[in-house]
Amino acid sequence: MHTSRYRMFQMIFGSFGRGDRNFLGSRGRTAKPIRPLDERRSGMTDWHPWDAEHRRRGHDPDRPHEESGYGHDDPYRHPDSADPQRQADGRQLGDLPWQERPWGGTVSSETAPLHSGPVHTGPVHTGYPDGPAHEPTARGTTYRAATPMAEPDLEYDDASEGRSPRGRRAAVAGVALGGLAVAAAAVPPVRHALLGLFDSDAAPTAAEERSDLPVPVTSEPPASGAPEAPRREGPVPDSFTDRDSSYSMSKPRKKGKPNKQPKWPSKQDKSPELAAQNAQPAATTPLSHDPLQHLLARFTFGASPTDVAELRRGGVLRWLHRQLNTAKPGYTGAPASVMPLLSKSPRQLIDAVAAKQIGSSDAMNQLTYATFACQLWSPYQLYERMVDFWANHLSVANHDGDQYPYRHTFDRDVIRPHALGKFSDMLLASSKNPSMLKYLNQNESRKESVNENYGREILELHTLGYGGGYTETDVRQTSYIFTGRTISGTTREYIFDPKRHYVGPVSAVGFKHENKTAEGGEAVGDAFVRHLALLPATAKFICRKLCVRFVSDVPPQALVDRLAKVYLRHGSAIKPVLWTLFLSYEFWASRGQKTRRPGENVVATARALDVKPGADPKKGLNSLYGVTRAMGHSPLDWQPPNGYPDVANAWVSAGTMLRLWGAHRALAQGTYQGFGYGPLAKLYDVRARTAGAVVDSLAMRLLGQRLRASDREAMLAFLGAEADTPVSSVDVAGKLPHLVPLFFDSVYHALR
Amino acid sequence: MTSEYLHPDCPDTSRLGPTEADAALRARAARVEADLAAADDGWRRGFTRRAFVATAGMAGVAALGSQYVTTKVAFADPAASNGNTVVVMFLRGGCDGLHMLVPASEALGVAEYRKARPGIALPAGKLTALSGGWAMNSALAKLQPLYKAGELAFIPAVATDEVSRSHFQAQDFYECGGPPAQARNGWLDRVLEKLGPGTTFRAISEGTSLPRSMAGNQSKIVLSGVDTFAFPGSKQLAASSKKALDALYRGIDHPLTSQVRETLSALATAEKIAAKPYEPGADYGEGRVGAALMDVARLVKANVGLQVATVDVGGFDTHTDEINQLEKIGTSLAQVLSAFLADLGPLRKKVTLVAMTEFGRRLGQNASGGTDHGHGAVMFAAGAGVVGGKVHGKWPGLAKDDLDHGDVAGANQAFDVLGELITKRLGVGSLSTVFPGHAYKPLGIFR
């Protein structure tokens, strides 16, 4: 207990006698600042633009603030910003403002089996009533029910700290909230608040929620025509059935020698900070080993100066809390003027287009603008990251002729309300959304003549994943289950039309139902959707995608498995999964292993430059739309239903690279009209006296790290100066519009 | 060979090329290569060695026109390139073969075809007769002259047991060129590897991102139009910006490094080509596919050493309204293809195009005047070296027992078609690494 208290203390108040910064943003009381610049070479004495300002106001940047309780010297904090110690409401650091559970639900120890015993998915009804006969395929794999999940291993190395006489429930809390639970021990008031969280208003457990599921049918022998194949669950590692993995499996660069794989630590820590502090990079990367930059690179659309300041000031825990628990679903940060149509109903849009009051692409364009605007300016960046993730998981192409009255409803009513909620809720909403139904032709599917597009993709792309253990028979059965879901001819909203619904026993991927009435068809479909969302193969498929998004193109399987367990344990709630990701060493060890895709690169450039909405944001956003479209990565525009590829190899393109360089120049030089741009001269320390100091402070400001010596030389060569050339004899002002883009062209900005 | 050995003044350099000027050019390029490699070594800071250094010991260069090769290239075997170009067109979405190439005779199964597709089977008036009882959707009528001239051939019922009815699995299978355990990079990447070094523009992909078939270590250029392939920003500072960019990506062991290098090295050529406005020798019509193939024709004519090009065509996932959708796409595709060959002029004797798709579609129509995912698909080949005017391969028929789960069965294999294409047209020898595990049986489509 002593150790843990000390570590927690360290975490919050800094480690004494060492110069390294802890991850609540503070540095040890006696620490000297680490100077990123070579002072002798650069001639600079202050290593941050604001240091002099501090000094002017009577602070010594090299000395801890007198009033600061934790020896704070924050290079990213503007002197005008509020004191990090005192929040607006007077709370002190340490009063962790958790008003709710980290993920808004209780920790459940329920691991109810999803099915009991093997369930055969025989050809209850295999094909089209009047069409050619379809036999169960011998080639396909036959789905066997998942064995009940083993009790998840809740014990990490947790002999003394997380366990308490409160029993199992508290133990679970201790694990999931390890760092906080320990903090609770150290800070009594917080402890009370935290432990109280788990005592009341428990959300329904996964098992309770599933009470609407039909009772699983007891085991049946497989039909003779369908030999039992070994069940495959989730994407098979050595398989290119998963597009992302298929792209990432490159050939060894040298014959016979496998490419170097990262050395993944397979560990969880008690809290994100500890994991951040303890995890070492799994592979060499040009990016600095800076966990705060890492967090921002992965969970924002690029670090803006504000993000950096907030994270340095408040630390990881507070940042995560704000991002996870205070994010308001919706379009925070987007100027209302760019998206007046997004609140309209499909009917209203159809009428307005028919009356020529608006153009037929207007609403789709506004969705693009709103998406860009949120990515650029929303304070809830983690939420936006998840919106982007889900929008590419349940992918519906925007800018598709048929979609003009519908597509925004998918974003507004399906993705955004549930982006940090439960996947089962999102999937259910998507199965009742006109945009999705239209996109995958479900609106045209009828019992007498099925269109199986949606039925196939919900299995292959939304839930189980290819190789997730479904057969062609399952695809057809799934399509039958969903008959009746369509779009109203009048309101153009989703309706369930019982007349279209196929009646009769249905069976697919472990789900069976008598499906006796047409009117009950919607409930059967709903139950089936929830069943799909909670299958182990679904958990692995989604968690692997999450890891590809946030960890590495080839993510460590152990992490995927851990996340999948948490996903199932929490009934597809996404916050616990993310929390587990933040506790993992793998996440923090993955610095630099992702490459920014073109759209991300452009948005990150604008965020680093702190580009503001300006006078005519629509115009500026439209420019971003144009440039990202030319690079094949404008938001929500991937035409096939599998979402944009998420691995670097898929984005190799010389043409795109040139366009990206063009976008860097356009943003740095302010050529996209409508936006508000700050003066470039403010990007570096005005007191820099040498060319070297200018380059160094630009690197810190734009990239959040120092450059390698060779890169520093390259920048200086571009300026036509030596490191110690006085600023006065260099044409900085003239060169800056062309020098700044080079920072964004560099590898430090290309990776994340 | 060291840089000193390859110094232009050295008399030995004369044997590096057919002419003295050419040899000097190669030698100078090789010296630049070696210098760059040395700079890389010097700048390396804690990163692992780049693999290309392995070939630096024999750093050489193949020159073609004024082209310099990219960093990875060793000395070119002149036999490696026979001057031919292969264009692989992927029809994304699962092209309905039965709606493009129709079995129009009793023997081929026209009765079953009409019965299964009461709403969407093409009526006789919408068919353009070919040979052997086959007919083409008349939307493709512009291709008929090519067929008659023996420059166009079809292959129906292309599928194997290893492709499923999933777009993505099927595309991946074909583009990887085999089962996952053996085929890790794209099949065209392995073709490039077998072809050995070439120019910067030896492999291009028209589009915005790399198709799976090209994924891998070999250098290639992805671009959408050579006209837009130019260095952005200030003209005065372009040279110093490029220099800075080159330096910024030295000594970093990351795939981006080679991308940057390839981009920079392609710029000079592209800018030279783009400087002269292109006057196509035929009307490609509107649309991206036309623009892409026009760009390919332009590069072929510019003689930049283009060996392999890929072009994607979308819109074939016809779950709804198939008649109109395919009418539109078919018409434009036929126009684009005939324009492409016409535009090439005499160079059409050097260029072969093959079109493929991930799967065919179901025999029976669905609820929406469309078809769902099926199995046996159609391929076609056009241009140089095609044994045309013919429908090649086997046809399994459309009788109930001949179907595969209600779909056209697989009777021919795509890798046989592609294998024959690259052996006969590009001179790739053994196919064992290109299509691992595939027993190659040529169908006689190419000569």
Q: For A240-254, B17-31, B99-113, B303-317, which range has the lowest pLDDT when averaged over its residues? A: A240-254
Query: How many other CB atoms are found less than 10 A from the CB of residue A172?
Result: 19
**Rg of chain B, C-alpha, whole Å:** 24
State the pLDDT at residue B181.
60
Q: How far apart are the C-alpha atoms of A168 and A190, rounded to whole Å? A: 20
- List beta partners, residue B67: B64
Q: How far apart are the C-alpha atoms of A107 and A239, rounded to whole Å? A: 34
Over residues A229-260, the pLDDT tens digits come to: 333 333 332 333 345 555 554 444 555 555 56
Q: Is pLDDT above 60 for A422?
A: yes
Q: Is pLDDT above 90 for A667?
A: yes
pLDDT tier for residue B37 given thresholds of 50, 70 and 90: low
Structure tokens at A697: 């402070």
Residues in B touching A440 (Cβ below 8 Å): 319
Q: What is the ipTM of this complex?
A: 0.73
The residue among A268 and A5 whose pLDDT is bigger is A268
State the pLDDT at residue A100.
34
For residues A305 and A620, is the Cβ–Cβ distance under 8 A? no
Backbone angles phi, psi at B127, to 5 degrees: -115, 140
Q: Is pLDDT above 90 for A40?
A: no
Instruction: Determine, for residues B168 and A241 on separate chains, whether the beta-carbon distance falls below 8 Å.
Output: yes
Distance from CA of A438 to the nearest CA of B (A): 11
Instruction: Provide CB contacts within 8 A for B239, sequence distance 6+.
Output: none
Share of chain A above pLDDT 90, in %: 59
Over residues B238-257, the pLDDT tens digits come to: 999 999 999 999 888 777 88
Starting at the edge strand found earlier in the chain, the sheet holding B377-383 runs B221-223, B203-206, B308-313, B85-91, B351-357, B377-383, B152-158, B390-391
- List beta partners, residue B86: B308, B352
Identity of the residue in A444, A453, A466 whose CB atom sits nearest the CB atom of B168: A466
Query: Which chain B residue has the Cα nearest residue A643?
Result: B168
For residues B377 and B95, is the Cβ–Cβ distance under 8 A? yes
State the pLDDT at residue A254.
53
Instruction: Determine, for residues A253 and B180 on separate chains, whether the beta-carbon distance falls below 8 Å.
Output: no
Residues 134-153 of B with CB under 8 A from A: none
Structure tokens at A404: 């003009």
Torsion sign over Cα A393, A399, A403, A404 = positive
Q: Is pLDDT above 70 for A117?
A: no
Provide the terminal-to-terminal Cα distance of chain B, rounded to the nearest Å.
39
B262 touches chain A (CB under 8 A): yes
Identity of the residue in B166, B372, B373 whose CB atom sits nearest the CB atom of A466: B166
State the pLDDT at residue B255.
76
Q: How far apart are the C-alpha atoms of A354 and A343, rounded to whole Å? A: 18
- Identify the three-state secondary structure at position A512: strand
B251 touches chain A (CB under 8 A): yes
DSSP letter string over B386-437?
A: B--SEE-S-----SGGGSBTTBPPP-B-HHHHHHHHHHHHS-----TTTSTT
Q: Which residue has the tokens 């472990």?
A: A510
Q: Is pLDDT above 60 for A647?
A: yes
Mean pLDDT over residues B366-384, rounded?
A: 95
State the pLDDT at residue B21.
54
Contacts A–B by Cβ distance under 8 A: 237
Share of chain A above pLDDT 70, in %: 65
**Rg of chain A, C-alpha, whole Å:** 27
Q: How far apart are the C-alpha atoms of A489 and A497, rounded to whole Å? A: 11
- Identify the three-state secondary structure at position B93: coil
Structure tokens at A172: 């679970």
Q: CA torsion angle for A146, A149, A150, A151 (degrees, to 10)?
A: -170
Structure tokens at A89: 């409401």
Structure tokens at A585: 């060493």
Instruction: Determine, for residues B43 and A710 on separate chains, whether the beta-carbon distance falls below 8 Å.
Output: yes
Q: Is pLDDT above 90 for A198?
A: no
Structure tokens at A743: 């920072």
Q: How far apart are the C-alpha atoms of A526 and A494, rounded to whole Å? A: 14
Q: How far apart are the C-alpha atoms of B62 and A429, rounded to whole Å? A: 58
Identity of the residue in A128, A645, A710 whose CB atom sits nearest the CB atom of B251: A710
Share of chain B above pLDDT 70, in %: 81
Identity of the residue in A134, A453, A466 whose CB atom sits nearest the CB atom of B169: A466
B253 touches chain A (CB under 8 A): yes
Q: DSSP secondary-structure letter at A21?
A: B
Torsion sign over Cα A88, A93, A95, A96 = positive
Provide the terminal-to-terminal Cα distance of chain A, rounded to the nearest Å.
37
Instruction: Determine, for residues B209 and A645 on separate chains, whether the beta-carbon distance falls below 8 Å.
Output: yes
- List beta partners, residue B129: B135
Of the candidates A443, A414, A442, A417, the one whose C-alpha atom is nearest the C-alpha of residue A430 is A414
